Amino acid sequence: MRRLRLLAASTAAALSLAIGLPAGAAGPSVALGAPGMTATWTPADKHGFGTATSLASKVWFSLEHGELTDVFYPDLGTPSLRDDHMMDWHFDSAPGGNVVQTGRLKLDGTGQRHATLALGFGGATSSALSAAQASLASGFAAVSSAYAAGWHDYLSSLKPAPPSLTTDQELTTYDVSRMVVAAHEDKTFRGAFVASPTAGAPVERPSVVACRYVKACR
Domain ranges of the chain: 3-19+43-82+105-217
Q: What confidence tens digit (pLDDT) does each residue in 2-47 have?
A: 333 333 333 233 333 333 334 444 456 887 777 776 666 667 778 8
At 39 the pLDDT is 63
* Whether residue 197 has pLDDT greater than 80: no
Distances in Å between the alpha carbon of 136 and those of 52, 86, 168, 213? 17, 25, 36, 35
Distances in Å between the alpha carbon of 158 and those of 33, 87, 147, 203, 217? 52, 47, 18, 31, 11
- Helix (H), strand (E) at residue 210: helix 206-217
Strand partners, 4: 115
Rg (CA), the chain: 20
Most confident of 25-34, 56-65, 96-105: 56-65
At 75 the pLDDT is 85
pLDDT: is 91 or 185 the higher one? Answer: 185
Phi, psi of 156, rounded to the nearest 5 degrees: -65, -25
pLDDT tier for residue 200 given thresholds of 50, 70 and 90: very low
Strand partners, 3: 114
Q: List Cβ neighbours of 82 (8 Å cut-off, separation of 6 or more).
A: 39, 42, 69, 70, 100
Q: What confidence tens digit (pLDDT) does each residue in 132-143 have?
A: 999 999 999 999
At 18 the pLDDT is 31
Phi, psi of 215, rounded to the nearest 5 degrees: -65, -35
User: Is the previous residue joined to 95 through a cis bond, with omega within 30 degrees of 0?
Assistant: no
At 64 the pLDDT is 86
Mean per-residue pLDDT, 177-188? 91
The pLDDT mean for the chain works out to 73
92-123 b/e (C-beta count within 10 Å ≥ 16 → b): eebeeeeeeebeeeeeeeeeeeeeebbbbbbe
**Alpha carbon distance 19, 15 (integer Å):** 12
Q: What is the DSSP-derived secondary structure letter of residue 10?
A: S
If one counts every other C-beta atom within 10 angstroms of the C-beta of residue 187, the result is 19
